[in-house]
Structure 1
Amino acid sequence: MGHPTKPQAAGHLDGEVGRWPGALAHDADAVRAMAMKSMFERLESLCEGALAVNLDAEVVWINEKYARKLGQPSAAAAIGQPVENIIPNSQMREVARTGRPIVLDIMPFGDEHLVVTRMPIRDDAGQLIGAVGFVLYNHLEGLKPVMHKMAQLQHRLKAAEKELADSRRAKYSLASFLGISPAAVETKRQARRAAQLDTTVLLTGETGTGKELLAHAIHNVSGRAHLPFVSVNAAAIPESLLEAELFGAAPGAYTGADRRGRDGKFKLADGGTLFLDEIGDMPPALQAKLLRVLQEQEIEPLGANRLVRVDVRVIAATSLDLAARVADGRFRSDLFYRLNVLSMSLPPLRERLQDLPLLVERLLEDISLRIGQPLEIAPEAFAVLARHDWPGNVRELRNVVERALLMHETQRLDAAHLASVLPSPTSDAGAIAPATPAPATAQIEPLSRVVEAAERRAIAEALQRTKGNKAAAAAALGISRAALYQKLGAARG
């Protein structure tokens, strides 16, 4: 097949649609040819530039306006030159070679950006003979409405991506686990060690002790901190959906499943950390599949016949006694041992009453920011809080503080406000009654004495467990040996 013949005069395409008599006005081919000629001439006049090339990407036609813009002395001077000689960034050769159009493109030219379209040219037999290009705009002003809409869509996409990324990022650090008590200090020490080891961690403790917060904190000081943190509550998801939630599902795996399939939490956490809360409530049927994932680091999406490799660090948590559940057959022993590589038991609030002032001040600060009013607590009110057993731990403490503020519509909590919302001491099962109920007229014990008494109890228990070994007791309490001797001296004094 030959190349298009070069035009005799620059500025005109080869061939010309003849003039048809009225009898041919209704001939489809003639009308089409005339329409094409008319459209081409109209487009050429409206555009900032136009040119055509043959199969060798040599310029066979260019309008005068475009030739001058490209620095040519005339349109005739450009004829026969490779298109790249006059347009260094041109894609016309690619269109002439493949026959595939580039409908809309932005082409850099010097300090400008040209909006161009490039289309293949075919002869009557449909054979590719070259390409034609038009510069629709020599600046982006004409595309402002389109560009504005595109910018809006990009902004929304970035916002959605940021929101998604934030939802998969750990929200708390070790500084969020408040406490200066020996139990709190030791918990944070163990958390730092757990973060460095990059192994499976099992967090145990009563509800409300901060297991999820500590899982976030461990991730945030680990080598995976810049990667996703994904959490799932095994007790909050119906058993029928939990497998797909954890491991994902192939397209159409079950009635109502997404036709495109879906990634599970393990896949979303790939490279990072997966927090499995309330692991003790996981159905037995899924425990075997979880064990395989922990051992092989492979998941099999629901309804799929393939295994997917993942690199996930698992932190599990439970408020149940897993060993007891293993004994009665409700939890797999092999899964328990696999999860219990590094275990941490979070202390209940009643064992770290020394941390009450810090915790309450933070709670008041959070509530104050939310309602826009300054809040405070009277020092003597802590003695009331220290006498409660706190079965719900820090979560219950937040509830008590908020309830007292709402019921009494006050900005300063005192002992009476808190006493009114705390349950009366009782000796029923699950509660610890005070040894000697204080008379209503008794003087409220200062907070410093409450804290000192708690410290003495903790030190005495540590010495008892270590059989009087002061170095071991100090290590267990998370304090130096010198600090232990100082506190013992103060207690004797």
Structure 2
Amino acid sequence: MEKFIGSKEFISFCHSAFDNIPIAIDFLDKDGRMIYINKAFSDFLKIPIEDMIGKIVTEINPTSKFLWALNKKKADIAVRHVFPNDREAICHRIPIFDNQGNLMGGLGMILFEKVNEMKEILKKCEILDKKLKLYKKEIARLNRAKYTLSDIIGDSKPMKLCKRTVKKIANLNLNVLITGESGVGKELFAQAIHNESDRAHMPFVSINTSAIPENLLESELFGYEGGSFTGAKAEGNIGKFEIANGGTIFLDEIADMPYYMQAKILRVIQEREITRIGDNKPIPIDVKIISATHKNLENKIAEKKFREDLYYRLNVLNLQIPPLRERAGDIPKLAEDFLIAFHKEYGLYRKLSKDAMEILMKYSWPGNVRELRNVLGKASVNAEDTIITDKDLPANLFIDLIVKGNQGESGFYNILKKVEKELIEKALVQSNNNKAEAARILEIPRMTLYRKIEDLKINI
């Protein structure tokens, strides 16, 4: 092996590999004797190749430090050196060892012929590095998770269980699937998972996969090179996965992702890399994927609308968010928090009456926390006083309660008539038998109200 560095085979290899390249390269044996030097180096030194082969390097260049690198068996990387012809350059001097660690020789290389040129490049690299760090900080700032566990309201048993689960799974570098009905706050929990993790200082990127047109979803997730397709930006565009690199990406409504895109997401999970549209160079990524859906993915798999292999890749850890009707005890604190927010945002100071709170507690909330917020927002605007009463609440809350109270009745038509009668009677009580006001509360024309009062035999 020691003989190989000076063998005919090695010299022949050097000629074929380095003779015609523009980088100045030479090889020394273990004693510092020149065994190969290419034309680029010869031209740089202005010494013919035949005058250098076989000579000790210090005979060619008395100021050379190459013998020091060989004796110390230590690489001399990117060092400034002035040659006998007064030319200055940045050089590498690298000892070469065999498999047993024995010195075989050395490789010399001129990296930059002009030191000022190298300094300028280094300066530009330093500036670019600073800018890159600033851009990364800005990306992380703009794509940050706002909500933490302390922002999620709820002390009920189901919510305490959810919060404990978040703390358990946050620092596990595994994908998480969040399930729960629409409006339960799945993104809040996704943000809380991110903020509880050691990725909290890195970007959190959220994307609703059902809200983006199918033909744009791939470019949105993976980015594209300039001119990749009609309408593409000339400078290209970075994708959500790249923005989230080092942090977390939240894929909401994952059940509605197009089937062809599911295969691409699966590949990202398996290979831990993405490829921009119009490019063939893979980009390594380190991203935690949190996905969410209010749909039954197992049913979607049975319908051949969702990939089973992707399901198991996403559902490594699972967080099930309970619906609001299963944690009614959290409603008073949620309502209070929303009313305080409305006061700060719109200047509407409101409190809930006992009757109004009782209705909120009994309602089934199919739209969950999102619906509760909307109901309280409308009630705050409708209320004529600081106290929100039951008359300020929307009619559908009462329909829900009345239907629940009449579940023992037989026949849909009979139930509907009874519900309609009770609603009209309630509106008349609220309006002190003012029919015009009752029609406004019920949001129906006055003539329709008159007819229904007569048809349902309602006593005024």
- Shorter-chain TM-score range: 0.5 to 0.7
Name the residue aligned to 1:307.
Answer: 282
Aligned with 2:379 (options 386, 404, 411): 404
Name the residue aligned to 1:198.
Answer: 173
CA contact (8 A) 2:210 2:253 kept: yes
Name the residue aligned to 2:309.
Answer: 334
Q: Which amino acid aligns with 1:264?
A: G
Partner of 1:314, secondary structure, is strand
The range that moved more, 294-303 or 412-421, is 412-421
Q: Does 1:245 align with 2:228?
A: no
Q: Which amino acid aligns with 2:300?
A: R
Name the residue aligned to 1:281.
Answer: 256
Q: Which amino acid aligns with 2:327?
A: R
Aligned with 1:219 (options 164, 183, 194): 194
Aligned with 1:348 (options 323, 333, 343): 323
Shift of 1:163: 7.0
Output aligned runs, 1:1-400, within 5 Å.
165-400=140-375
Alpha-carbon spacing, 1:168–1:281, altered in 2? closer, same or farther (3 Å): same
Alpha-carbon distance in 1 for matches of 2:406, 2:140: 49
After superposition, the C-alpha distances for 1:257-307 in whole angstroms (9 at most, x for unaligned) are 111111100000000000000000100011001001111111011111111
Alpha-carbon distance in 1 for matches of 2:348, 2:253: 36
Q: Which amino acid aligns with 1:185?
A: K
Partner of 1:291, secondary structure, is helix
After superposition, the C-alpha distances for 1:126-145 in whole angstroms (9 at most, x for unaligned) are xxxxxxxxxxxxxxxxxxxx
* Structure 1 residues not aligned, in runs of 5+: 1-95, 103-157, 443-493
CA contact (8 A) 2:356 2:393 kept: yes
Calculate the TM-score normalised by the size of structure 1.
0.54
After superposition, the C-alpha distances for 1:388-435 in whole angstroms (9 at most, x for unaligned) are 1100000000111111122234322123322646351279xxx86665
After superposition, the C-alpha distances for 1:27-67 in whole angstroms (9 at most, x for unaligned) are xxxxxxxxxxxxxxxxxxxxxxxxxxxxxxxxxxxxxxxxx
Calculate the TM-score normalised by the size of structure 2.
0.58
Partner of 1:274, secondary structure, is strand
Alpha-carbon spacing, 1:414–1:97, altered in 2? closer, same or farther (3 Å): closer
Partner of 1:343, secondary structure, is strand
The range that moved more, 189-198 or 320-329, is 189-198
CA contact (8 A) 1:201 1:342 kept: yes
CA contact (8 A) 1:404 1:421 kept: no
Count of matched residue positions in the alignment of Structure 1 and Structure 2: 291
The root-mean-square deviation of aligned C-alpha atoms, in Å, is 3.2
Identity %: 44
Query: Which 4+ stretches in 1 moved above 6 angstroms?
Result: 96-99, 160-163, 436-442
Shift of 1:345: 1.2
Partner of 1:422, secondary structure, is helix
Q: Which amino acid aligns with 2:250?
A: F
CA contact (8 A) 1:198 1:222 kept: no
* Structure 2 residues not aligned, in runs of 5+: 1-113, 121-133, 409-417, 427-460
Alpha-carbon spacing, 1:294–1:407, altered in 2? closer, same or farther (3 Å): same
Alpha-carbon distance in 2 for matches of 1:432, 1:229: 42
CA contact (8 A) 2:362 2:401 kept: no
Q: Which amino acid aligns with 2:386?
A: Q
